[in-house]
Amino acid sequence: MDDWAAAMAEQAAVTAAGKTDHEVSPAVEAVDTAPMPSLEETRAAGGAQANLDMILDIPVNLSVELGRTKIQIRNLLQLAQGSVVELERLAGEPMDVLVNGYLIAQGEVVLVNDKFGIRLTDIISPAERAKKLR
């Protein structure tokens, strides 16, 4: 069992026994007070790849925006099957690709094996993305 799992198991045992934080064993204190390695030490030990691997598994929401419009609630409530909602985009304009609500690219809609997809035509530069965050 690694140090983190051992510390969590010991903390659970301490909590179940009703001990205070001051009665924790020296092994847990050693884990808590150990200095973090410097960035250079982490990179030298191959930790950079491990850190990158850790964030590669974080899920994000990717969405493609066809267009937007503003509509009054009165008109929204009158929508029914077959209603047409006019969007601000023109036909043939590139679609926006958003990750967690932030624009990262633009592309065009494609059909692959009876499924919709998007072909990226323009990737927004990190500098441009940073400008839009402000």
DSSP structure string for 4-67: HHHHHHHHHHHHHHT--GGG--HHHHHHHHSPPPPHHHHHHTTHHHHHHHHHHT----EEEE--
**Alpha-carbon gap, residue 48 to 40, rounded angstroms:** 10
What pLDDT score does 44 carry? 61
Domain that holds residue 100: 62-133
The share of the chain scoring above pLDDT 90, in percent, equals: 23
Convert the pLDDT of each residue in 68-124 to its tens digit. Answer: 899 999 999 999 999 999 988 888 889 999 998 888 999 998 888 888 888 999 998
Neighbouring residues of 19: CB distance < 8 A, sequence distance ≥ 6: none
CA dihedral for 80, 82, 83, 86, sign (positive or negative): positive
Please provide residue 57's backbone torsions phi and psi, each rounded to the nearest 5 degrees.
-95, 5
- 69 and 97 co-located in one domain: yes
Tally of domains in the chain: 2
CA angle 67/124/68 to nearest 5° reads 10
- 40 and 93 co-located in one domain: no
- 47 and 104 co-located in one domain: no
Could you tell me the CATH number of the domain that includes residue 117?
2.30.330.10
- 80 and 29 co-located in one domain: no
- 8 and 28 co-located in one domain: yes
What pLDDT score does 9 carry? 73
- C-beta of residue 105 within 8 angstroms of C-beta of residue 132: no
Nearest C-alpha neighbor of 30 from the set 5, 2, 7: 7
Please provide residue 44's backbone torsions phi and psi, each rounded to the nearest 5 degrees.
-65, -30
Quickly tell me which residue has 């009054």 as its tokens: 72
- 42 and 78 co-located in one domain: no
Query: pTM to 2 decimals?
Result: 0.53
